[in-house]
Amino acid sequence: MLKLCNLFIGVPMRNYRKIISKALWFLLVLFYFYTTYEVVEYLQRSYSRDITEDRAGDLSRQLALVRYRLEASVSSEIFQANALASYISVSPHSTPQQWLPLARDISRKAIHIRNIAVAPNDVISFVFPLAGNEKVLGLDFREKPEQWRTVQLAREQQNIFVAGPQRLLQGGEGIIARIPIFADPPFNTQYWGVCSIVLDWNRLLHDAGSDSFPTDIELAMRGVDGQGLQGAVFYGEPQVFTKPLRTETVNLVSGTWQLAIMAKPSNSWELWLRSNLVRLLGYTLSAVLFIAVILLLNAYRNARRYSYEDVLTKISNRRRAIQMLDKLQKHGSYFCILNIDLNNFKQINDTFGHVAGDAVLIEIATRLERELRGSDMVARIGGDEFLVILPRISDTNSVLAIQQKIMTQVCAPDFVWQGITLPIQMSMGSACYPVDADNIEELLHIADRAMYTDKQQHRQCEMR
């Protein structure tokens, strides 16, 4: 700690101010970016939560609509086809020619029915339409274990049994409704056979809207043969049911299906942009605002600096010096000023050019600032004229000591410019407030007269 204190003891006051100013700017910038981060991320979280909830609601409604359409289509078309089974039940001796008009009318109304088959004694003897379904004529369900199982279930339950989806003998996939027919309703002791209704599974899915979900949403269904949660997955991927976004249950005539949707990983640029919209806009706007503020502050700082700074030497100008003098007078402080004018400066300009003269002015300003205190001010108030303001100094001995220091440290070392040695000579005059004058104008006038007196003495010495 002692070493650190010793390190700062030798730092001029103006450097302290610069260090503190830079530290404050750094903290301000840090606070700005931290605040920006917190605000943008809060808005992003709120926006993401809102769009997630809105999207979840939309997807939930869409899934419910798919469930409703599946339920409505499957149930309504099976019950329409049940009319044929009811007809046969009350007319067990009716013939295929009598079934044909009714089957044709049912197929015309129920757009998803692919075919209707009637199997007296569980052997198919009638199918409509016949075209494309010739393979099923004469099929004995007892010879097809999987199909026989569903026929037996319908017979045992004495109710419609919805089987599938499953592969069909004639190709493709379908939902098969097994409608048991009894010749003695409502006692149902005389089993006649079965009426099978095949629904086009792919068309049923399409019309229900299964392919209308966004590309990053995956739909799956399970519950083959209406087994619901315990049934196998027959559409989509099984992992959809591990963490589904939403689920719906399709109630069938016998059993249920379960629908589920899940968001799958997506590298879509559009999805990423939509998900990070607030973050992109927020950080872009904050960056633009930060740059704009920096540019404005820099423009203000430059304008202020140029209004108080000498363009050539980068030290204070006359305006800044007068402002400091007025401030010291207003606060009732005591101070002294030194009016400095270079000797033979015109000769340097004429001999070596204005570039050399400018170099001399810059060097003098640098030397003066180096040798004076941090609280002192050095200002260029004319072409080759400088003003030094010395706060908290009022006695003549202190002023003379400072003048001697300036003569020794500023004038004595030669200034070498481009290999040319340029001598530095100056005349100085001093005045103290309020000893010599009680107003700034008179104080400057006294110091100016003293400087010209000193300059005259230098000329007389040179003439000797």
Check residue 4 and give its pLDDT: 43
Among residues 305, 322, 356, which one ends one of the domains? Answer: 305
User: Are 199 and 63 contained in the same domain?
Assistant: yes
Tell me if 405 is assigned to some domain.
yes
Distances in Å between the Cα of 418 and the Cα atoms of 342, 348, 352, 357, 415 are 21, 14, 11, 12, 10
User: Are 373 and 301 contained in the same domain?
Assistant: no
Tell me if 139 is assigned to some domain.
yes
Extract the residue ranges of the chain whose pLDDT is less than 50.
1-11, 463-464
Tell me if 29 is assigned to some domain.
no
CATH number, domain containing residue 87? 3.30.450.20
User: Are 154 and 223 contained in the same domain?
Assistant: yes
**What's the first-to-final CA gap in the chain, in angstroms?**
59
Q: Which residues contact 183 (CB under 8 A, 6 or more apart)?
A: 89, 92, 190, 191, 192
What's the domain count of the chain? 3
Q: Which residues contact 10 (CB under 8 A, 6 or more apart)?
A: none
Give the integer Cα–Cα distance in Å for 345 and 331: 37
Give the integer Cα–Cα distance in Å for 186 and 165: 30
Give the integer Cα–Cα distance in Å for 425 and 335: 25
User: Are 325 and 196 contained in the same domain?
Assistant: no
Check residue 460 and give its pLDDT: 57
Give the integer Cα–Cα distance in Å for 333 and 438: 11
Pull the structure tokens for residue 403.
């003048």
User: Are 68 and 200 contained in the same domain?
Assistant: yes
Which of the 8 DSSP states describes residue 407? I
Neighbours of 291 (CB within 10 A): 10
Q: Contact at 8 Å (CB) between 253 and 160?
A: yes
Among residues 305, 324, 355, which one ends one of the domains? Answer: 305
User: Are 171 and 185 contained in the same domain?
Assistant: yes
Pull the structure tokens for residue 110.
């129920």
User: Are 172 and 57 contained in the same domain?
Assistant: yes
Tell me if 441 is assigned to some domain.
yes
Beta strands in 168-304 (DSSP E): 173-182, 191-200, 217-222, 233-235, 246-251, 256-263
Check residue 13 and give its pLDDT: 52
Alpha helices in 158-268 (DSSP H): 201-208
Give the integer Cα–Cα distance in Å for 448 and 437: 13
Give the integer Cα–Cα distance in Å for 366 and 382: 16
Check residue 15 and give its pLDDT: 62
User: Are 112 and 225 contained in the same domain?
Assistant: yes
Tell me if 47 is assigned to some domain.
no
For residue 394, give the amino acid letter: S
CATH number, domain containing residue 346? 3.30.70.270
Residue among 70, 54, 52, 51 nearest 219 (CA): 70
Distances in Å between the Cα of 262 and the Cα atoms of 58, 207, 216, 224, 238 are 14, 21, 8, 20, 11
User: Are 254 and 106 contained in the same domain?
Assistant: yes
User: Are 315 and 450 contained in the same domain?
Assistant: yes
Distances in Å between the Cα of 283 and the Cα atoms of 218, 223, 232, 268 are 33, 49, 49, 22
Q: Which residues contact 188 (CB under 8 A, 6 or more apart)?
A: 158, 180, 182
Q: Which residues contact 440 (CB under 8 A, 6 or more apart)?
A: 322, 325, 326, 329, 433
Pairing of strands 377-380, 316-317: parallel
Q: Which residues contact 135 (CB under 8 A, 6 or more apart)?
A: 169, 170
SS3 75: helix
Tell me if 5 is assigned to some domain.
no
Check residue 1 and give its pLDDT: 44
Q: Contact at 8 Å (CB) between 392 and 335?
A: yes
Question: Looking up tokens 């399409």, which residue turns up?
Answer: 206
Give the integer Cα–Cα distance in Å for 245 and 216: 12
Tell me if 358 is assigned to some domain.
yes
Q: Contact at 8 Å (CB) between 187 and 213?
A: no
Tell me if 41 is assigned to some domain.
no
Distances in Å between the Cα of 395 and the Cα atoms of 225, 247, 372, 392, 407 are 112, 94, 17, 10, 19
User: Are 250 and 313 contained in the same domain?
Assistant: no
User: Are 143 and 284 contained in the same domain?
Assistant: no
Q: In what order do the strands lie in the sheet with 126-128?
A: 126-128, 113-120, 191-200, 173-182, 161-167
The range of the structural domain enclosing residue 286 comes to 276-305
